[in-house]
Every structure is written in C-alpha cells, then in structure tokens.
Structure 1
Amino acid sequence: MNPLYKELQPSDAYCVRLPYPFSDFDRQILTGLYQPLVGHEAMAVLFTLWDEADRDGGAESNHYHLLNMLGMPVGRLFEARLSLEGIGLLKTYRKAEGDSRSFLYELQPPLDPETFFHDPILSMFLYGKIGAPAYKRLMQRFLTSPVPAGYEEVSRSFMDVYKPVTARASEPDDPNTYEKNARPAKLAFDGHDFDFSLLYEGLSAHLVPRKAFTPAAKDMIARLAFLYALSPLEMQQVVLLAIDQDAHLTDERLKRAAADYYKLSVSKSAPRVEKIPSGGQAPQQAAGPAKTKEDELADYLEAIPPVEMLRQLNNGREPMQIDVRLAQKLVLEHGLPTGVVNVLLQYVLLRNDGKLTNNYVERIASHWMAKKVGTAREALELARTEHDKYMNWKQEGGKPSAGRKGGGKTESVPDWFYKKDDKPEALPESQEANPEIEARRLRLIQKFGMAEGGAE
C-alpha cells in the first residue's frame, strides 16, 4: 500500500461534482443512518464538499484550504475519504499532469431507507454500531408504515389516465441526451470473490435447480457470505434452508436462513462490520522492533499540517501571519510535501534563535527540492548530514547572534539531529538569552520528547 504522501498532499488541487441534487431528506438519511457507520469526521468532510459544490459550482481549490477549514491533518482527511468511498457516498477521480495532481470528488446520494435496511451488510453494520433500541427507533422513523387493514388500493395506472397524442414519436430519443441522476440501487459490492462453482458442486440440481440462482439471489448470497464470514460449503446449508417449495431463493428467506445458521453454528451474538485500519499508511509488521523516537517524530511530522505545528509550538496561540504565509508558500507554490515543510520549519526555528527567516528557509527549501526530498524521514536525514553547510548559509545571510562562538553547535537540538553520544556545547553563562525565544525553544524541545544534550 502506498505511503500517505503518495496518496494525497495538501498542495493537490480538487473540485467537487454534485450530479444529483441532494435534499433535506438526504441530509436526514446521512446523519441518521450513515454517520454512525463512518463517523463524524467523514460526515463533516461530506457536508463541507456538499456546501462547496452548492456554493462554488465545482470551482477548483486545493486541499490545503480544505484542511484548514476542517481543522484536521491530511492523514485524517484521507481516512475520512476512504470511509465515504467504501460506504458508497463518494467517488474519487485523479489526474496527474507532470508533478502536479488534481482530484475530482463526485458526491453520491445515499440509499433510500428501504434499500438501506433491506441490505444485510448495511443494516447489520448499523445494528452493531448503535444497538437494538436505537436501531428500532430509526426503522420507525425512516420506514413507511404499512397501509392499515381494510383499505384497498384503487389508484389508476399511467395508461389508465394518459394516452399518446400521436401513434409514433417524431424523433427517437437520444439515450445520451440526459444524464442519469438517480439514487444508487444498492450498496456497491464486488462479490467478495465468492466461489459459486464450489457452492454448486455440493448442491443437487434436483434439490436446488440452477435457475434458482438468479443474479439477485447470487448477489444476496455473496453479501451474506461476506457479512457472516461463511464459506461456500457453509452457504450450501444456508441455501438448502432458504429454498422454498417453488424452488425460489428470495432475499428475505436467504437473510433469515443465514441468520439462523449463524446463530446455531457460529455465535448467538450479531456479526460486526469494522473499517480496515490504516487505509493510507504502509501496513505495519505484526511482529517487529518497536518504533524509535525518530520514527515517531517522522510519523508526527508527516501527519500534522504546518500551520497546526506552528500553533502547537506557540503554546496553542495563533502563529504570526508572516510565518503562516511562509508555510503556505512552501506547500502551495513550491509543492513541498507537508512532512518536508514541517522538518524544514522545525530545523530553522531551532538553528535560527526561534525565528523563521524567509531567505534562509527558502535557500534550504531550494536545496531540498533539487535533492527531490519527498518524506519527513529523508528531510531529517539530510538536515543532519548537511548541517555544517546550512550553518554556513546562516552566517552568510546575517551577522552571528551576540554572545555566540562562531557557527559552532551551541544550542539544544532534537534527538534526531545529533547521534546519541554527541552533546552540544553549553551556552556561556554571561549570555543574556531572550526570554520569549528561550521559552519557545523549550516548548519545541518538550513537544518532541527531547531533553537537553540529546539524552532520552
């Protein structure tokens, strides 16, 4: 699986397409039936995209502004996108043009309540999330009550009320004239790679005629096998329980037979549906060495937006706008990945007395772009190996700070910067440190779990 930075970057452009006009009832379905399944963050992403489509008509923007609007890092946005895609509420298209990428997000309408509750996967997913009492209340709220007893339908059909003006149409309809803007018929499902040939082998054609396996029946069998984690051999028993006297396999009989078989053979507890974790990250090894402090720092720098990192380093206060604009410029104009920008900002803050100097930052950024640095880990390593060069650049850009001895290593730096055995020199006692700068530097050191001298 691709690392996150290869899947999505804040500098990537996007636009939103709304092929189907959503209604207030759609909003009620989304909040009542879908939000318990995908979570509030995914629903916030959906509603934000919906608002942009209505307000801006699909105008192009970039993910950096979307992340600031939602107040979440790019990793959580990507996870929310996967949740929406998996549940059938979003289709994502990607276009690459050289080094830049753009995405098209097409919002999909929710299933109508009857289809939702009829689907065994979605209904059981919701049941497992909210429990029986809340599930029953939602069914009562969204499903139409049956017509009371004693009433007989006397509605006329279309042909009873209307007739054509001419015997034939003047021109045939162009099938491409109108775009299909209908609700999806059911939850998209690829069949779960279910082995129907193995299912057929154990079933006598006399007991279960092959004509009973209609496309609808096969689709329901595959969904139930996925939901209950049943093999083709186990589904043979379900089919035998579900077949009626007319050799038909209906959805309701299949669902009831699968539930009965599961309760008798597997567990009396209802099955649960869970999201596969770490959609955008490389899968971790089940058994392996624990993460080092540098690994944890690299993961942190990959996930957090630069503005949020600056805010955290500023003890929760809003960072200076000049620093924010510099971070945005590195991401949007220069196209540097978020993790690389975070390493760069952290490095300069530590080596430049807690200040971000545009010329100094951009000179290092130009060097990293030439080196094609793409991850926080690569940036950390380059900052370590090229430190002497960068310190010379700092001296060239201005006068040395008062009280410092040349360009030597005279201040506390993160664990990732020096090897564990190396220790920076202490500041002269006579130096008068700026309290604000020193406080900011100490907050930065504490944030990343670092101690003076690089000790853990």
Structure 2
Amino acid sequence: MRIEHVHEFTEHHRYYIFRDFSLSALDLKAISLVYQPMVGAVAASFYQLLYQHVPEGRVGYSPLDPQRRLFLSLGIEMNDAGRQRLAQQASILEAVGLLQTSRIAVPGGEDVIYEYELQPPLSPADFFRTGHLTLFLRDKIGKYAVLALREQFYAAEPDELAEAQPGKENISVPFYELFRLNARTTDEELEQALSEVAPARQAPPAAKSEVTQAAGISYGELILRFPRNSANRTYVERLRGDEEGMASVNYVAYKYGLSAADMCRLLDEDGVFHADGGLLLDKLQGKASSMYRQDRKRDEDRKRAMARAAAPASSDAEPVEEVAVGTEFQLDVPAQLAGRCDAPQYNMLMRNEPHTRFLQRFFPGNVPEWLDRQFERIDLSYRLPGAVINVLIHYVLGTNETQRVTKTFIEAVVSNMLVKGVDTFEKAVGYVREQTRVEQRKRETEAGGARSYAGGGKSGQSRGVSRKPAIPIVEKRTTDRQLSAEEMEEIRRLAKELDGQ
C-alpha cells in the first residue's frame, strides 16, 4: 500500500472487503504455520479480521464501514504513527500475495473508499514451488525448520505402494455416460439471472489474445518485481485495468522472448511512458530489440567459450567413424592445396574433418580471427553439420576469389543454404555445383555482351545511316603479268605530267 501522505489513509475513510473463497482447515494451518512466521502476528491477525467481515459460508462483499473499526479491533492508536503501522501491515500482506488494496474515488465528491480484496493462501505444493517465498521463510525460521514444516502438510504414501510402483488405470466414469441433459441444453434466462445475482465485481474477462497466452505475463508478476521507488511505478500500476496496455507488454515480451523481470527493467527506463501515463509501444520495442540483441550476443559468446573449454575433453573421446565420399559427390582440389593431396583425400577430409581443422588447411599460419569467429558462430548459432560447413569453406576459399571472403557474402550463402534445407554433405555439394553453373552462365552472358559492345560500330551501320561520308578506298591489286616497255614508258610520261614537269 503506497500512501503519499498520512491524511490520505485515516480512520475516517470508509472501506469494504471482497473475497470469493472460503478458508479450509488446511488454509488455516498454512496461515498459522507458514505465513505468520513471514508476516508477523499483527499482519496475520489483520488478515483474519478482514476475512471475518464477510459471513462464513458466503462470498462477496462486506458493508461499508469507517476504518475506525480496524484500528480499534487491532488495538492500533488513531494517530499518524498508527496509520503508518496499519498501512505497513497491509503492505506486508500484499507482498506475500494475501491481499490487494485499491483506492476508489467517490463520484461527485472528494472522499475515497478503500477496497481490501483478500486472496487465498497458496496450497502447500504451490507454496514450496515458489522460490522467493520459500527462501524468505528459510531466512525467518531456518532451512531444517522449512523441511520439517513441509512434512507436516503431507501424508506419506504407504510403503507397499511406494515400493511396488503399480501401474495405474483410470476407470472413472465420465458425466455423459450416466446423465443426460434435456434437449434444450442452454437456458438464456437462467444464465442471465445467475450473472445478475453473482457476487463477481466485474464482467468475466475476455478471451486472451494469442500473444498474451504465449507470453503469459500478468499484472501481478510485473508489480511484484517492479521497484517501489521507481518514477514509473505509478504508470505501471495503471496497467492493472488496462487490457490493451498489458496486451502490448505481452506482445513485446513474446516477440523478443523476454521474461517478466526483463520487462520490469524495460518499463523502469525513461521514455517508455507518455507524460499522461500511456505506454509508448515503439519506444518499448526499440529498447526490447536492443536487449534482445545484447542477450543473443552474450549467449553466442558463452556457447563459444563452452565449446572451446569442451574441445580438449572431446579430443580424448573415441574417434568418429569416417564416411566415404562417392565419386559423384567429389569436388575438385583447390589451388591452395594442389600437390598436397588428391581429390579422394581432399573430399574425405572435407566430409569427416571438423571445420576448425579443415579451415586451418587453407592458411600457412593462423586463421584470421574474424574468419574463425564467423564460422564458429555459424556452427553454434545455425547448427549446420560440420560437413556442410566444410563445403561452405571450400566454396568461399577454395575458388581463390577474394570478393567472396567477406562477412556479407558468407552470411548470404549460409542464409540461402538454410532456406533451401541444405543439411547434408551431398546436398551441400549439389548446392555448390548449382551455384557454380549459375555463375558460369552469368560470366558467359557478360562476355557475350562485351563482344557485342565491341562490334557495335559495324552493327550500328545496319541500324541507321552513318554520319561519316563514304570515302572510296583504293584497293591494292597484284598480278603476275609483266609490263611491256611501251607500257612502262606511258606510265612514266603520265607521272611527269602529274608532277608538272
């Protein structure tokens, strides 16, 4: 219970109780032996006092009364110190999940009414499965006391049944084998009457959206983990009755795989709420995306470190049986490894060797760190088999084309392999051969286009009229016939006339 000023919570304010359950003998035992050591005797008495406001054997509301009744029943003085003490006891009950307190503004007035909604205690099985409650009880009474206390809530199974472990067969009879309903299975008038007299305080909640069902984060989980002194605490409290806001929170949590604790950290940051308290979904998604990328990077680093630590142990294990490679699936030996092994040996290495060893063969010294990390991330994150990664290494490094040795190209090839379902050595070889044929056809097409461009001058004359004038070219003709003396003399005479002699 968060009270900003003591005069907001006084003995003059009215209150009422709501509960929709009844305490059993097991519940009373849990309150006495489990909850009271955690919350204290005053808070446990406060819970019992609130429970008795609704008559036993009934559920629903209590009459409106001034809070003076609570102060007098608990023996708390009606002053500032007493008000703070009563508010503190209510906060303790809220923290362990036994109470929810709300403040209701009276329409047309300045007065407020306090609502105390009681929650049933957890069953023994649920309580001891709740980590923070069990640890808090351990801090109060000790570990061995907790173990002894747990045994008090369970009746032991007979030894004969525990040792025999008999097979169980369900022989129960379902409802519709014994009973038959009238032809008219629904009665709208009856359902309406039951809903009108029901003690429920609000209409049944609408069906949850798919993202809410998938994320599974409730308002209670958020407010339980959210810091009390946070500036955004008031905005988060408004999400209790805001179905759309909680749906947005669950959508972001489902989209990025975040837990309730992660969402509390995001909602505690600046800029995720509007000045009027509305949730800014775009800002929240941006911060969630950043957290998702950081968590993913940390997971990859952790997996990489664990893989390196497990490498020496795995090297001592029994060697894996080698798998032979058929002739139809063998690839050519790259130029870097020419003379060091033949095609069958190279393909056997590519099929059976770990990708770390196979990658090392393409470099005379150490493998570049970025390239080693790239293939290690492919191994740990994308879960490609080692043989497929080796074929990828052959495709990237074995062709001796420097434009392929980039992070962008490697990521594009891996993504294409994953989309096409390349998960075996044979499929990877087929993929590489297909890509090689595609690249070969592309080179041939480009070469043909270059040749057409080079001969464009001749082909251009056929498409249109040339702008250059047609200049006759004197052809050089040769013949084997010898000229006579008269012909030679005539040629010399003509030459002299042309020279002006």
Smaller-chain TM-score range?
0.3 to 0.5
Q: Work out which structure has the larger RCO, using CA pairs closer than 8 Å and 6 or more positions apart in sequence.
A: 1
Calculate the TM-score normalised by the size of structure 2: 0.36
Query: Computing the radius of gyration over CA atoms, which structure comes out larger, 1 or 2?
Result: 2
- Structure in which a larger fraction of residues adopt helix: 2
Calculate the TM-score normalised by the size of structure 1: 0.39
